Amino acid sequence: MADYCPLQGNLSTTPTLYIDTEAKASALLENAKYRINTVRNMLNSVSCLCVKDAEGHDLEHFASAAHLLLQDGCDALDALGWKLDRVAPGL
């Protein structure tokens, strides 16, 4: 049976979102890259905007989404690191 690790971005007291730590290394890397690249693209868009035109909590919402995606990507990279440590300890 697969081993699941809760994502750090879970906001409830009981985790509901998990990473399958037994997933293929390529799948973990692909998911991490997708989330990190999405954050990069979001931040690139924000860097091109005029902040004075932002309304209310727009930047706060944008930053929150970026943080969540980046945390998920980091969690996937952590799981990939654990997998690599089991396969080739000491590398």
User: Which pLDDT score is estimated for 52?
Assistant: 75
Over residues 56-75, mean pLDDT:
91
Residue 91 lies in a domain: no
64 falls within a domain? yes
Domain contains 28:
yes
Provide the token pair at 38: 């999405």
pLDDT for residue 91? 64
Cα distance between residue 57 and residue 18, in whole Å? 29
* 78 belongs to a structural domain: yes
Number of domains observed in the structure of the chain:
1
Q: Has residue 65 been placed in a domain?
A: yes
Domain span at 67: 23-84
More confident residue, 42 or 55: 42
Residue 36: inside a domain? yes
- What's residue 1's pLDDT? 52
Q: What is the DSSP letter of 77?
A: H
Q: State yes or no: pLDDT of 35 exceeds 80.
A: yes
In a domain, residue 56? The reply is yes
Indicate if the pLDDT at residue 10 is higher than 90. no
